[in-house]
Amino acid sequence: MTAKLPSIALLAALTTAATAQTTPTATTTTPHHTTTAAKTTATPPNIPKVVGFPKPLYTLKYIDTKIGTGAPAAEHKYYTVHYTGWLTNGTKFDSSLDHPGGEPITFPYGAHRVIIGWDTGFQGMHVGGKRRLFVPYQLAYGESGRPPVIPAKADLIFDVELVSMSDTPPQPKTPPAPPAAPGSPQKTLPATPTTPTSPTTPTTPTTQTAPTTQITPTTPTTPSTPTTNPPHPETL
């Protein structure tokens, strides 16, 4: 009996140590539950309380793939943006890089000119930053979609880049000049300097055919005609 006592004492010591190690883990999880309960039950006193936990209906999610170093994104500005959009099955449906010249697009932020996911999805970005947006269909094209490109109830994925931001819309670019090679045969355009040949209006000095009207003084029967001639010095 005396030989078994040390083993029993050792077993009791191990049990005490095990319980001592488990108790701190229980205390660390308790504050987590209490803080969650505090957040969900925080209701202003003038609003009737309800039982339950709030559930999200739909959520816009994002991943910042590059942090910009420019000015922070602000509302009521004009954003110039590069983008590429995919369906959730991986089908690319549009990209600014595929547009003629690969030009970005510009839109007024927060003015409801784009889908809701875009009107809120640039918050917290800086100019030069890039972000991937996961847009639920409720914040995209809704239940109807945009057939045949966007199916009904289509969640969308966008890679966006905030290229620049301004207070005013960009000025329209002047159309490029026509190529010089085809233009050289069309030096018929310098034929417009033939309009200076409209100095054929100096052919109105050919109204000096009016001196041929001096033949009319050969008809002395009309002496009143010389009275009409003096306003034109050429006839003198």
Catalytic residues: 83, 93-94, 115, 141, 158
- Distance, CA of 109 to CA of 90 (rounded, Å): 27
| Bridge partners (DSSP) listed for residue 202 | none
Alpha-carbon torsion, ordered 133, 135, 141, 147, to 10 deg: 80
Dist. CA 182–CA 191, nearest whole Å: 16
Burial code (b: 16+ CB inside 10 Å, e: under 16) for 90-102 equals: eeeeeebeeeeee
Tokens, residue 68: 């910009």
Sequence-distant (6+) residues with CB within 8 A of 49 are 41, 43
